[in-house]
């Protein structure tokens, strides 16, 4: 059970609700405070105060006055008109992540919404009603308007939703779950859709997946390192400490410990001066990725505990600000995309080294009968293709901006695009790692296998599902099997 209080949500909590289907509960004091703010806000509105998005139009229509008896209809129309997303629906896990992040943001108490709205979002999460949200339509300021509007549309019973594994009219999904369509109150429509929860919810899941991806990259690298007779000299503690970036030192120390007990490495240490960069510089490159990941997690941890609505209300005054602008998250998503793309680049170069007999000293393409058999020639092509795709995707979305709303919103973050393409980059890197698991294990077949106990555990885990290659067979099935093992965290469990 994850408690929502508007200030202490972690990316791990978002993952637990979104992926593991943990239930949510809202802190009682938080609910009371939210309701008190809402009542104070209503008194302010009833006094005749002009408030953007409550008794005015939106965007460049901000100077259009809305009568008091039309303010509820304004919120409904906002959600209807802004539900303009296109493309395939976002996976359930990401929509749930978006919902729990939006719930926590509204619970911070600056959005002037009622406790009813918070309870509705929580009940939809707990009763498995997941709005159908098209992938595309957000420019990342004013917040993630279109995708969040589709969530509001489903809450009203006018959209589509996933329930019990089926897409249906949201009115039917709500009814089956024992819920009634939500009636949005003053300001609640704009409060729901004007925020960064789409990009930060997706990025929360991406961070967890990226941690898992880096852990797998460390393990797959062990196989290649030993198969290529790498020397551990570059992982000497004082060398790492001479340039004490946190990630570099941590990864270098772990990698050295994992290599303990390897006769292959001992022999290499006695004979070799240094290795190619893709072996020697694992701490520097992987450590940099780890540091970027920590930075991005810190940014997102702040964001998912922030009020990103506009305008905001502190109990006394309403102020229009810019907390909806997704720039911090957009830059973080792009930074992580670049880091993971380069992680994949390094792994692909080791894969290429494994299959090149001139560089590895191993049989060409890791087959005992090359010529008649092509062995693992083409998996390197696949890794190269995935790297190429990632290089295209790693162009920063935040480097672009296209003005919207008749130039009232004249600079946007494009953070939603950054978050979405990051998901594809992570998936591609995981396939590249799966290829290294496959080829690294095969490469060890041509050694005396006197690798470290840690390396051998990874090798044996691969061999549980994938036999060594004696003659040609389609590698695709083996790569997919290893990818499934990664997704089930089998390699991480094998080497803690």
pLDDT in tens, 158-217: 999 999 999 999 999 999 999 999 999 999 999 999 999 999 999 999 999 999 999 999
What pLDDT, on a 0 to 100 scale, did the predictor assign at position 356? 98
Task: Assess whether pLDDT exceeds 90 at residue 480.
Answer: yes
Task: Assess whether pLDDT exceeds 90 at residue 104.
Answer: yes
What pLDDT, on a 0 to 100 scale, did the predictor assign at position 409? 86
Burial class (CB within 10 angstroms; exposed 0-12, middle 13-18, buried 19+) of 423: buried
- 202-494: CATH class: mainly alpha
Give CA–CA dist 246/55, Å, rounded.
Answer: 51
pLDDT in tens, 267-277: 999 999 999 99
Start and end residues for every CATH 1.10.275.10 domain found in the chain? 2-195
State mean pLDDT over 31-35: 98
What percentage of the chain reaches a pLDDT higher than 70?
Answer: 100
Residue 405 confidence class, pLDDT cut points 50, 70, 90: confident
Task: Assess whether pLDDT exceeds 90 at residue 107.
Answer: yes
- Among the listed residues 15, 52, 295, 395, the single catalytic one is 52
pLDDT in tens, 380-400: 999 999 999 999 999 999 999
> Does the pTM of the predicted model rise above 0.85?
yes
The yes or no reply on domain 2-195 and CATH 1.10.10.10 is: no
Give CA–CA dist 439/458, Å, rounded.
Answer: 12
Q: Out of 56-65, 74-83, 247-256, 259-268, which region has the weakest mean confidence (pLDDT)? A: 56-65
Residue of 256, 149, 262, 125 lying closest to 197 (CA atoms): 149
Task: Assess whether pLDDT exceeds 90 at residue 149.
Answer: yes
What pLDDT, on a 0 to 100 scale, did the predictor assign at position 235? 98
State mean pLDDT over 251-279: 97
What pLDDT, on a 0 to 100 scale, did the predictor assign at position 2? 98
What pLDDT, on a 0 to 100 scale, did the predictor assign at position 267? 97
Residue 406 confidence class, pLDDT cut points 50, 70, 90: confident
Give 393-396's long-range contacts (Cβ < 8 A, gap of 24+). 393/337, 393/341, 393/421, 393/424, 393/425, 393/428, 394/334, 394/337, 394/338, 394/341, 394/425, 396/331, 396/334, 396/337, 396/338
Encoding tokens for residue 44?
């302010």
Identify whether the C-beta of residue 379 lies closer than 8 Å to the C-beta of residue 332.
Answer: no
Using DSSP's 3-state secondary structure scheme, residue 451 falls into coil
State mean pLDDT over 69-91: 95
What pLDDT, on a 0 to 100 scale, did the predictor assign at position 410? 86
Start and end residues for every CATH 1.20.200.10 domain found in the chain? 202-494
pLDDT in tens, 112-139: 999 999 999 999 999 999 999 999 999 9
Residue 48 confidence class, pLDDT cut points 50, 70, 90: confident
Task: Assess whether pLDDT exceeds 90 at residue 330.
Answer: yes
pLDDT in tens, 464-478: 999 999 999 999 999
H or E element in which residue 160 lies: strand 160-163
Identify whether the C-beta of residue 103 lies closer than 8 Å to the C-beta of residue 173.
Answer: no
What pLDDT, on a 0 to 100 scale, did the predictor assign at position 62? 79
Q: Which residue has the tokens 């570059």?
A: 234
Give CA–CA dist 87/147, Å, rounded.
Answer: 11
State mean pLDDT over 97-117: 98
Residue 100 confidence class, pLDDT cut points 50, 70, 90: very high
Task: Assess whether pLDDT exceeds 90 at residue 110.
Answer: yes
What pLDDT, on a 0 to 100 scale, did the predictor assign at position 57? 86
Is 431 annotated in the active site?
no
DSSP 489: T
Spell out where 165-264 has E strands.
166-169
H or E element in which residue 389 lies: helix 377-393
């Amino acid at each position: 059970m994850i408690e929502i209080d508007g200030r202490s949500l972690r990316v791990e909590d978002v993952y637990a609700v979104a992926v593991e289907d943990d239930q949510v509960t809202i802190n009682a004091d938080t609910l009371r405070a939210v309701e008190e703010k809402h009542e104070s806000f209503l008194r302010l509105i009833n006094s005749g105060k002009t408030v953007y998005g409550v008794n005015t139009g939106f965007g460049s229509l901000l100077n259009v006055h809305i009568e008091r008896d039309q303010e509820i209809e304004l919120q409904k129309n906002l959600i209807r008109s802004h539900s303009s997303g296109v493309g395939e629906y976002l996976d359930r896990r990401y929509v749930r992540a978006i919902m729990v992040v939006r719930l926590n943001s509204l619970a911070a108490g600056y959005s002037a919404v009622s406790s009813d709205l918070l309870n509705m979002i929580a009940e939809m999460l707990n009763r498995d009603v997941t709005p159908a949200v098209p992938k595309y339509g957000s420019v990342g300021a004013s917040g993630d308007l279109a995708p969040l509007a589709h969530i509001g549309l489903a809450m009203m019973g006018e959209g589509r939703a996933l329930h019990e594994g089926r897409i249906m009219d949201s009115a039917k999904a709500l009814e089956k779950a024992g819920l009634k369509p939500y009636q949005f109150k003053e300001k609640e429509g704009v409060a729901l859709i004007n925020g960064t929860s789409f990009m930060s919810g997706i990025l929360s899941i991406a961070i967890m997946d990226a941690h898992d991806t880096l852990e797998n990259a460390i393990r797959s690298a062990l196989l290649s390192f030993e198969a290529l007779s790498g020397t551990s000299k570059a992982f000497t503690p004082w060398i790492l400490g001479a340039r004490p970036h946190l990630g570099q030192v941590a990864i270098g120390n772990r990698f050295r410990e994992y290599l303990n007990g390897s006769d292959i490495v001992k022999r290499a240490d006695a004979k070799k001066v240094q290795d190619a960069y893709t072996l020697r510089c694992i701490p520097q490159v992987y450590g940099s990725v780890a540091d970027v990941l920590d930075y991005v997690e810190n940014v997102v941890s702040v964001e998912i505990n922030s009020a990103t609505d506009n305008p905001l209300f502190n109990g006394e005054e309403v102020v229009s600000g810019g907390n909806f602008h997704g720039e911090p998250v957009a830059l973080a998503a792009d930074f992580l995309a670049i880091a993971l793309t380069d992680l994949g680049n390094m792994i692909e170069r080791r894969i290429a080294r494994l299959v090149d007999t001139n560089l590895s000293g191993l049989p060409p393409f890791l087959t005992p009968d090359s010529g008649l058999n092509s062995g693992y020639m083409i998996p390197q092509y696949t890794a190269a293709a995935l790297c190429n795709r990632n290089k295209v995707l790693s162009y920063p979305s935040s480097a672009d901006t296209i003005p919207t709303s008749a130039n009232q919103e004249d600079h946007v973050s494009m953070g939603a695009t950054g978050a979405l393409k990051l998901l594809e980059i992570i998936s591609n890197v995981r396939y590249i790692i799966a290829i290294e698991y496959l080829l690294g294990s095969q490469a060890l077949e041509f050694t005396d296998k006197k690798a470290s106990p840690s390396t051998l555990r990874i090798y044996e885990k691969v061999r549980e599902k994938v036999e060594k290659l004696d003659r040609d067979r389609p590698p695709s099935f083996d790569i997919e099997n290893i990818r499934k093992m990664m997704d089930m965290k089998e390699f991480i469990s094998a080497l803690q």
